[in-house]
A and B are shown apart, each in its own frame.
Chain A
């Protein structure tokens, strides 16, 4: 019992272990008051120009934020929070100085200054600044908890304003379908930034949980038994292993961030009158309360001093990329003989058999269907617990993949058509690639496989390859092999030997092609190119070529036909270069091999504008390439459905040859 907290008697508040908060008014008031003091300290530091950026305080919501986190006492419990996270973070970590230093942009910050107010990580605690963005990740992590069977549940905390985000519902649905131990907590402060809830949220809050068949509770943080009821919800999820949905009614005392509060004084007076923290304090004898408050003030002053002593965060050297040094590449036995589809399917079977961490998620994977392109055939039969047919929720399953990866799995997410990657893009762009560089101990070894490409008359939303979109995402690895690469080997390297989020494109027209090297050799990977050895660039071997064609993925068979024709009819020596790694671009590998070539053609199936070819061309030009360079690809228009129209838009043999001959 901590009835008179002092700095000396707060063993849990040093940032090294989770604070113990017994159900005792003095302890709860003491900690809640400490959170409020921290928020007020931050506002004070902000007004003195000591903070990096802005901050979102939980003033008025201190007890609400403590309620659930306080009860998450299992070693393997995890918390995913949001922009308004200081109360959650402090209740989980007790690291006051680390929080101050982080928000002040100091080296001693809990994320070394990389995260700031909204992006905090501490053991099982992670927060991020995209509303609802963490919900699917939490479900993925909960799936890992369920599979591991070693206990621990996951809580994901959002505000009522976030109920406008679609991903929340994908996540609730996934949690229900998978029946995983995740507690969704909605902190209902009746306002979304500046907009009242009645303008943003239709219908019932609790019905949102009930609709997915999820156990649902609603409590108020000013209820006398609030902490008991919050703990009961946590216990229910833990006991059942099933998801829960908890709405906590609360009130925000401060603005959303800084100076953005439109509420009138009458409303604010009512909120202050209700303030459950003040009410809790009033239950204590005056002397005890004052002693707590005095002790807290001293404690916070010491924490600020500690944070202030830390120097501003600095990179020793700004990293060129987030991938770290290259590891030695293990030689592999190349599997040849079948089609690309068979090679990929065999690799999936091998990995699932040999590596218990490998998990495959995707739509319509179940046998006998085996996925839309049959790459995942016979997998659900062999590995029913680790190969999951999912709802139609691209963002949800990409997010779940991130959560699984953070929990130590090697997840593979199959996206039926690469066009739908855009649905999962926020999960990739704002979460998967950002966590590892921002959060020291987080890796996201997630592979997203996507069937892509045109030539089948599937039309505008089932024919694209968004490799340019993906390659422009900082930190995202993009692999797009051809039928000349060891397709299964590429996939195995991506899943097992590369610890970074990766999109793995598979062209639909290559699936039925024989997967044979046919005399291609790998270019020597430049040591400074991350992953260039794992995902090689192939070359057909021509001495002093008249022309070099760089192509990848589905363009490979086409440029082979073109090269054959140019060599036969036009007496040209034609070199073909087939990268399998699009991003990080094997820049120096390509420059070393190609800088002396007279003519280079970049043949692309995706629009050339702002494309991968442009990046390759720019790299060559910057390295002093002074030959003739040409991009051949489609215009920036939708891919039409009629085969005859599609053939006119996508580059074909005749157009490639005609444009190449213009170079002579």
Chain B
């Protein structure tokens, strides 16, 4: 049975010593008291001696290596062919504990960043690695950034206005129709009417102004602008729990081009006369068709209108643009009857207010349109 010679402690506080040299080699016979190795600390050099006769079975360490005090320096046997006992269990590696099939942490970080699942990604080797994830990503359309949960109030009105406390009555409605006050409570109603008066009025306007086409929808939109200018509640929204009344009327209208829907905005429409408004409407429409709309042309709507009459659609329910409380929906007539619809934010407008606005648009108001 071989017996160990241990690395000696030279100083109280040095846990490692440097191996200068072994003075004997495996297989060599040594005598008790014979120097077998030389080690040193910062303080001193020490010669390690054999405490008994024997044969060197094995040495541990190379010249210059730092050895732990108390570790085995050298095994000495009674014969040169004994074997060293192997009873030190090898320390378990972390990989061993965690399993080698686990993806690397770097791969997991990348997977998490892209909202992927490790099971979907093939591994080239035993472990899923960063290179595997990158290969998977480049082979697939890059997935969109994972959706962030919406902020309590996302964005803010894009047009100037005054923020005021809701009146007690207004606040009561707001709280009765919305379970979280930061999203519009979109609601819809509609009114039926005969469009003949509007058609006649629009044709008359076209002929008086020498226009190439009949501006029915622009004129209806203009009447809406005039009405909203006189009724600020229609031109309001909710921001941070407070009522936000816009200073000016900015009218957004839908334009459908090449399979895409746009909402260009006629800014400060309440300052225009009917002709200026119709021209602005046509100008933005044309910019849209040319693909020339600027981001600023599509921001800041305070009220809106949509027409699907030309398809012909008989009724539609528009989605409210951000921070808009009323959007009027114009559709195609059928059998002399037309439907005018309105999507409205019930936090700001009740059904009566929305209907009154809608009803006001069912016939042209010559005085209102031409007063400016």
- In the complex, which of the residues B91, B108, B112 has the most CB atoms of chain A within 10 Å of its own CB atom? B108
A572 interface hit (Cβ, 8 Å): yes
Known A-B contacts A339-B42, A512-B42, A664-B112; the reply to A546 vs B94 at CB < 8 A is no
1/0 contact string of B97-127 vs chain A (CB within 8 Å): 1100000111111001000000000000000
Q: Is A654 located at the chain interface by the 8 A CB criterion?
A: yes
> Which single residue of chain B is at the shortest CB-CB distance from A653?
B94
Q: Does B147 contact A (CB under 8 A)?
A: no
User: Which residues of chain B are within 8 angstroms of A658 by Cβ–Cβ distance?
Assistant: 94, 97-98
Q: Which of B16, B42, B97, B104 contacts A569 (CB 8 A)?
A: B104
> Given that A657-B94, A658-B97, A661-B98 are known contacts, is A571 also in contact with B13, CB under 8 Å in the complex?
no
Chain B residues within an 8 Å CB radius of A341 = 42
- Determine if B95 is an interface residue (Cβ-Cβ < 8 Å): yes
| B368 smallest CB distance to A (angstroms) | 53
A572 touches B106 (CB 8 A): yes
Shortest beta-carbon contacts, A-B, top 5: A571-B106, A570-B105, A664-B108, A664-B105, A571-B104
Partner of A508, one of B11, B13, B104, B129: B13
**9 A-B interface contacts by CB (under 8 A):** A456-B13, A508-B13, A511-B13, A512-B16, A546-B109, A570-B106, A572-B109, A573-B106, A661-B94
> Is residue B15 contacting chain A, with contact meaning CB distance below 8 A?
yes
Closest to A342 in B: B42
The distance in angstroms between the C-alpha atoms of A654 and B13, with both chains bound, is 25
- CA A573 to CA B110, docked complex, whole Å: 12
Do B107 and A569 touch across chains, with their CB atoms under 8 A apart? no
Give Cα distance in the complex from A341 to B109, angstroms.
Answer: 41
Q: For residues 15 through 56 of chain B, which have their beta carbon under 8 Å from a beta carbon of chain A?
A: 15-16, 42-43
Q: Do the beta carbons of B14 and A512 come within 8 Å of each other?
A: yes
The reply to whether the CB of A219 lies closer than 8 angstroms to some CB of chain B is: no
A-B interface pairs (CB < 8 A), number: 57
Q: A339-B42, A456-B15 are in contact. Are A570 and B104 (CB under 8 A)?
A: yes
Q: Check: B130 CB closer than 8 A to any chain A CB.
A: yes
Q: A104 to B91, alpha carbons, bound, how many Å? A: 69
Interface membership of A374, Cβ < 8 A: yes
Tell me if A336 counts as interface (CB < 8 A to partner B): no
Partner of A571, one of B14, B95, B98, B107: B107
A617 at the interface (CB under 8 A from B): no
Q: How large is the interface on A (under 10, 10 to 19, 20 to 34, 35 or more residues)?
A: 20 to 34
Interface size class of B (residues with CB under 8 A): 20 to 34
Considering the complex, give the chain A residue whose CB is closest to the CB of B14: A512
> Shortest CB–CB separation between residue A287 and chain B, in angstroms?
78
Q: Which residue numbers of B lie inside 8 Å of A, CB to CB? A: 11-16, 42-43, 91-92, 94-95, 97-98, 104-109, 112, 129-130
Docked complex: A622-649 residues within 8 A CB-CB of B = none
Distance A373 CA – B43 CA, assembled complex (angstroms) = 12
Interface 1/0s, chain A 39-74, versus B by CB < 8 A?
A: 000000000000000000000000000000000000
Query: Is the C-beta of A592 less than 8 angstroms from some C-beta in chain B?
Result: no
Q: How far is the CA of A658 from the CA of B92 in the complex (A)?
A: 12
Residues from chain A with Cβ under 8 Å of B91 in the complex:
654
Residue of A nearest to B41 (CB): A512
Cα of A482 to Cα of B59 in the assembled complex, Å: 34
Closest Cβ of chain A: how far from B282's Cβ, in Å? Answer: 49
Determine the chain A residues whose CB is within 8 A of the CB of B130 once the complex forms: 571
Give Cα distance in the complex from A527 to B148, angstroms: 35
Complex: A508 Cα to B107 Cα, angstroms: 38
Within 8 Å of chain B (Cβ to Cβ): is A621?
no
Which of B13, B15, B109, B129 contacts A374 (CB under 8 A)?
Answer: B13
A508 nearest in chain B by CB position? B13
A280 in the interface (beta carbon within 8 A) = no
Other contacts beyond A569-B104, A657-B94: 5, CB < 8 A: A372-B12, A374-B11, A374-B43, A569-B94, A571-B105
The residues of A that contact B105 with a CB separation of less than 8 Å are 546, 566, 570-572, 660-661, 663-664
A136 to B115, CA, bound (A): 65
Q: List chain B residues, Cβ under 8 A from A512.
A: 14-16, 42
Among residues of B, the one whose C-beta sits closest to the C-beta of A458 is: B13
Name the residue of chain B whose CB is nearest to the CB of A456.
B15
* Chain A residues whose CB sits within 8 angstroms of the CB of B14 once the complex forms: 512
- The chain A residue with its CB closest to the CB of B129 is A571
Smallest beta-carbon distance A179→chain B, Å:
32
Smallest Cβ-Cβ distance to B95: which chain A residue: A569
Encode A543-573 as 1/0 by CB contact (under 8 A) with B: 0001000000000000000000110011111
Taking a contact as CB atoms under 8 Å apart, the answer to whether B97 and A372 are in contact is: no
B108 CB, nearest partner CB in chain A, Å: 4
Interface residue ranges of A472-504 to B (CB < 8 Å): none
Shortest distance from the beta carbon of B133 to any chain A beta carbon, whole Å: 10
A contact residues around B112 at 8 Å (CB): 664
Contacts of B104 in A (CB 8 A): 569-572
How far is A661 from B97 in the complex, measured between Cα atoms in Å?
A: 12
For B113, give the chain A residue with the smallest CB separation: A598
A643's closest neighbor in chain B, by CB?
B70
In Å, the complex CA distance between A517 and B15 comes to 23
Considering residues A546, A570, A572, A654, which has the most beta carbons from chain B within 10 angstroms of its beta carbon? A570
